[in-house]
Amino acid sequence: MPIRPATLNDIPRMLPLVRALCDLHAERDPERFAVREDVLDRYARWFPERIADPRSLLLVAEWPGVDGLAGFTVCTIEPEVPIFWVPECGWVHDVYVVPEARRHGLARALVREVARRYAAMGVKQLRLHTAMFNDAARSAFAREGFRPCVVEMLKTL
């Protein structure tokens, strides 16, 4: 399963995956995950910054039989609140695999590659959020050593 750093040429092929990820979340929990109408424009501007930043990871995956990209992940290194012992951590912002390439370990392979690359940079922790409805993602992340540590709660006003 080829996983590689994204290039600028990949961005147009990544945007449909971003749209699918946003739609999945917005359909299941619109109060929490409704996105702006210009979400794809925002990602189209953000992705080149991630590609240029040596401390960000924008990885893509290909899979036999999938026309276009089969998946992607975007990650950044973020500072921690200064009262905690870890000065910074890697944040996995998005992981998405197209439906026809699921159940083959592609998401796990993307996350493993992120962990490998960030460990080589000296990053001590990876963090991510998963939607409460996404049992499959939580299970996959747990198999990669992630554990629940915070519960985000929402109250609509």
Report, at the CATH architecture level, how domain 3-143 is classified.
3-Layer(aba) Sandwich (3.40)
Question: Which two three-digit tokens encode residue 14?
Answer: 């990544």
The three-state DSSP-derived secondary structure of the chain is CCEEECCHHHHHHHHHHHHHHHHHHHHHCHHHHCCCCCHHHHHHHHHHHHHHCCCCEEEEECCCCCCCCCEEEEEEEEECCCCCCCCEEEEEEEEEECHHHCCCCHHHHHHHHHHHHHHHCCCCCEEECCCCCCHHHHHHHHHCCCCCCCCCCCCCC
Q: Is this structure's pTM higher than 0.75? A: yes
Residue 15, φ and ψ in degrees, nearest 5: -60, -40
Cβ(130)–Cβ(137) below 8 Å:
yes
Instruction: Give the whole-angstrom CA distance, residue 22 versus residue 94.
Output: 10
Residue 92's CB is within 10 A of a number of other CB atoms, namely 22
pLDDT tens digits, the chain, 157 residues: what are they?
A: 689 999 999 999 999 999 999 999 989 888 888 888 899 999 999 999 999 999 999 999 999 988 889 999 999 998 877 677 777 899 999 999 999 999 999 999 999 999 999 999 999 999 999 999 999 999 999 999 999 998 888 898 9
Cβ(46)–Cβ(38) below 8 Å:
no
Where are the domains positioned within the chain? 3-143
Cβ(74)–Cβ(47) below 8 Å:
yes
Question: Which two three-digit tokens encode residue 101?
Answer: 């390439």
